[in-house]
């Protein structure tokens, strides 16, 4: 399997090169040169597979002979040591709970898999790698947890000051050792800009080998396909049309779902569910992609004004807007609507959902009303445990959410971060001192 840049499909790299580099030399994102189709037999018997067995079958197609199958199995078993169960809300709506990893967010799937893949590749080549990662919330904590004390890898996490939840901040700033947290005076888009600029800065790349652990890294994206296949397996016997409603910010989770579909997963429709940072839903409605400065919301992981994975989506569809529009429905909601959604789910179903999942739920309801198709099974991706947004959820439903013991322990730890401006020269100077 070769990987090409979204900026130039004529230049290819190996899986190893794509993972270690993170971003192509021309600034584009790596994407498979083709999407492998899984055999019909796999789907016919998929309900017999565990999540880990599904993960192994999918991952092998993207790695092929670059990592031995026994090592891929070891990486999968070590990385994906938790499940992704479906919680049925009604006859035709289920919640796909993706928060059973160590940092209580779906990012654990990608970050832990990538950490173990990169550790194998780096140890094999005996080289030191510096991971740069921008986070709007959960990515940072998952990456910090996944890479903590991994030999040969240093991690630098950039996060926007005062724009993530207190729990999220503690989860990424309390490690130390090979994990450095940079508190940026700006937005997530500023953090992402600093990272992208560093990757093409020759002064930096001459001094250190950089990689990325955002969903811009292909090794973060591949494992996010696993739970789409598993949820299909769990719904298999109903033989109905499956619609996934995906909380969408940087579009990595949605892109992974689209890749799963191109591998043969029978998905009827994807929903890109957004907060008021609605760049992608507006594109779906107009064909115009217009990045803008992100706005702070209570669903902060989706506060993205220039989603990186948009480049992968248009590449997957050869920039054919009509095909993209046909397969993806977009919708966006305000904070007020998000809170009402949290309240409605708890009032009607006694289900506690986080703000991101609440937006996914709203978008699915709107789509079901518009489609009027009675033969749909809707699956909402619940991307984080509601306790990570304790203040928002408690205020909405007026109860005290049970805080997991792992979170209580982290909240007692000391924050360790370095505050800098969003000026690139300051960031560059800090990097070169490392």
Relative to beta strand 3-5, strand 8-13 is: antiparallel
- Concerning whether 107 is annotated as a catalytic residue, the answer is yes
Residue (of 23, 170, 150) closest to 79 by Cα position: 150
Cα angle vertex 387, ends 332, 143, to 5°?
A: 80
- DSSP code for 23: B
Q: How far is the C-alpha of 83 from the C-alpha of 101, rounded, in Å?
A: 8
Classify 215 in phi/psi space as left (phi over 0), alpha (psi -120 to 50) or beta. alpha
Could you say which of 9, 21, 107, 170 is catalytic? 107
- DSSP code for 102: T
User: DSSP labels for 122-149?
Assistant: HHHHT--EEEEEE-SSHHHHHHHHHHTT
How big is the chain by its Cα radius of gyration, in Å? Answer: 20
Q: How far is CA 220 from CA 139, 365, 423, in A?
A: 10, 30, 27
Tokens of 117: 């893949």
Q: How far is the C-alpha of 278 from the C-alpha of 363, rounded, in Å?
A: 13
Are the CB atoms for 159 and 172 separated by under 8 Å?
A: yes
Annotated catalytic residues are 107
């Amino acid at each position: 399997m070769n990987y090409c840049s979204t900026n130039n499909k004529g230049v290819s790299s190996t899986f190893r090169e794509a993972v270690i580099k993170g971003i192509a030399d021309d600034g584009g994102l790596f994407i498979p040169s083709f999407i492998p189709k899984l055999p019909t037999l796999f789907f016919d018997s998929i309900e017999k597979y565990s999540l880990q067995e599904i993960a192994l079958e999918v991952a092998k197609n993207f790695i092929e002979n670059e990592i031995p199958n026994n090592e891929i199995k070891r990486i999968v078993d070590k990385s994906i040591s938790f499940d992704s169960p479906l919680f049925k809300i009604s006859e035709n709506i289920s919640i796909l709970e993706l928060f059973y990893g160590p940092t209580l967010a779906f990012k654990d799937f990608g970050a832990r898999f990538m950490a173990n893949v990169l550790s194998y590749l780096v140890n094999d080549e005996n080289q030191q790698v510096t991971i740069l990662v921008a986070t709007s919330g959960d990515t940072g904590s998952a990456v910090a947890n996944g890479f903590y004390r991994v030999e040969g890898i240093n991690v630098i996490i950039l996060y926007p000051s005062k724009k993530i939840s207190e729990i999220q901040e503690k989860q990424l700033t309390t490690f130390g050792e090979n994990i450095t947290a940079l508190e940026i005076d700006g937005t997530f888009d500023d953090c992402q800009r600093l990272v992208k600029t560093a990757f093409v800065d020759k002064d930096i790349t001459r001094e250190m080998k950089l990689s990325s652990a955002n969903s811009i890294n292909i090794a973060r994206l591949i494992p996010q396909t696993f739970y789409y296949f598993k949820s299909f397996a769990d719904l298999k016997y109903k033989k109905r049309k499956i619609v996934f409603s995906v909380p969408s910010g940087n579009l990595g989770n949605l892109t992974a779902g689209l890749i799963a579909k191109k591998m043969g997963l029978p998905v009827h429709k994807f929903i890109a569910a957004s907060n008021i940072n609605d760049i992608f839903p507006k594109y779906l409605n107009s064909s115009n992609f217009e990045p803008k400065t992100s706005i702070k919301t209570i669903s902060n992981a989706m506060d993205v004004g220039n989603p990186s994975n948009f480049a992968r989506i248009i590449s997957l569809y050869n920039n054919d807007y009509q095909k993209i529009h046909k397969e993806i429905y977009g919708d966006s909601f305000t904070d007020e609507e998000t809170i009402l959604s949290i309240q409605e789910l708890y009032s009607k179903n006694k289900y506690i959902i986080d703000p991101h999942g609440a937006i996914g739920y709203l978008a699915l309801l709107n789509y079901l009303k518009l489609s009027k198709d009675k033969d749909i099974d809707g699956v909402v991706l619940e991307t984080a445990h509601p306790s990570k947004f304790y203040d928002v959820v408690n205020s909405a439903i007026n109860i005290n959410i049970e805080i997991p013991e792992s979170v209580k322990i982290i909240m007692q730890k000391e924050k360790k971060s370095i505050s800098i401006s969003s000026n690139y020269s300051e960031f560059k100077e800090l990097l070169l001192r490392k």
